[in-house]
Amino acid sequence: DTGVSQDPRHKITKRGQNVTFRCDPISEHNRLYWYRQTLGQGPEFLTYFQNEAQLEKSRLLSDRFSAERPKGSFSTLEIQRTEQGDSAMYLCASSGGGTDLYEQYFGPGTRLTVT
Amino acid sequence: GQQLNQSPQSMFIQEGEDVSMNCTSSSIFNTWLWYKQDPGEGPVLLIALYKAGELTSNGRLTAQFGITRKDSFLNISASIPSDVGIYFCAGQWSGAGSYQLTFGKGTKLSVIP
């Protein structure tokens, strides 16, 4: 069990550019979540996958955001035409399907700065 | 989005003291989770609670699921310098098939050696 990993850890981009983040969940965890965290706030839910199916999306996930989990393993989060308000920490979490169904384990996050 | 009310927002304590913090919600939850986050890192799960009234310990940490299902409490006994960080509560209501967590704004803990 190597934990949830995220890549890159930091990303600086210019406004209007597209960015893509990757998340690798704990192996055999079939549930994967994306959250966004801004300074001084707790994480806010963006979207949730069970295997490859995207089952839940927050209103925070605007049309410029898209998430995929094509083979039910790793996931990507893409932000198109980035805006300064997109600057935040993007966190990925995963959970299993057994007794730890509701226990979400987080990765280290990707810090996005839009200039 | 909705956030929980977490208090206090910050606290400074002497090493060796006990710490208490709490979290309240206007909605009921059927799971409460407590996390600790260090600067620049993701939250680390400390304790998970599943039943109203449940009291669960993890080392020096003890958490309780409130009877009303609208609150939860975290206590840290005999604090040490490595307890420094931001503690978040998170609630989950899976009644409608949702697994999203709703987080508080955190309690920032500083420990004075």
Token pair 């959250």 is found at: A35
Alpha helices, DSSP H, located in chain A: none
| Residue in A31, A41, A111 nearest the CB of B99 | A31
| Residue of chain A whose alpha carbon sits nearest to that of B92 | A102
pLDDT tens digits along B39-65: 999 999 999 999 999 999 999 999 999
A-B contacts (CB, under 8 Å) = 72
Chain B hits for A95, CB-CB cut-off 8 Å, are 99
Q: Which of A2, A27, A38 has the alpha carbon at shortest distance from A114?
A: A38
Is the CB of A44 less than 8 angstroms away from the CB of B48?
Answer: no
Q: Which amino acid makes up residue A19?
A: V
Nearest CA-CA distance, residue B103 and chain A, Å: 5
User: Distance (Å, rounded) from C-alpha B33 to C-alpha B50?
Assistant: 9
Q: Which of B51, B52, B60, B91 has the alpha carbon at shortest distance from A43?
A: B91
Is the CB of A104 less than 8 angstroms away from the CB of B33?
Answer: yes
Beta A65-68 vs A10-13: how paired, if at all? unpaired
Contact assessment for residue B70 and residue B104, using Cβ atoms and an 8 Å cutoff: no
pLDDT band at A28 (very low <50, low <70, confident <90, very high): confident
Contact assessment for residue B21 and residue B7, using Cβ atoms and an 8 Å cutoff: yes
Nearest CA-CA distance, residue A97 and chain B, Å: 12
pLDDT band at A40 (very low <50, low <70, confident <90, very high): very high
pLDDT band at A100 (very low <50, low <70, confident <90, very high): confident
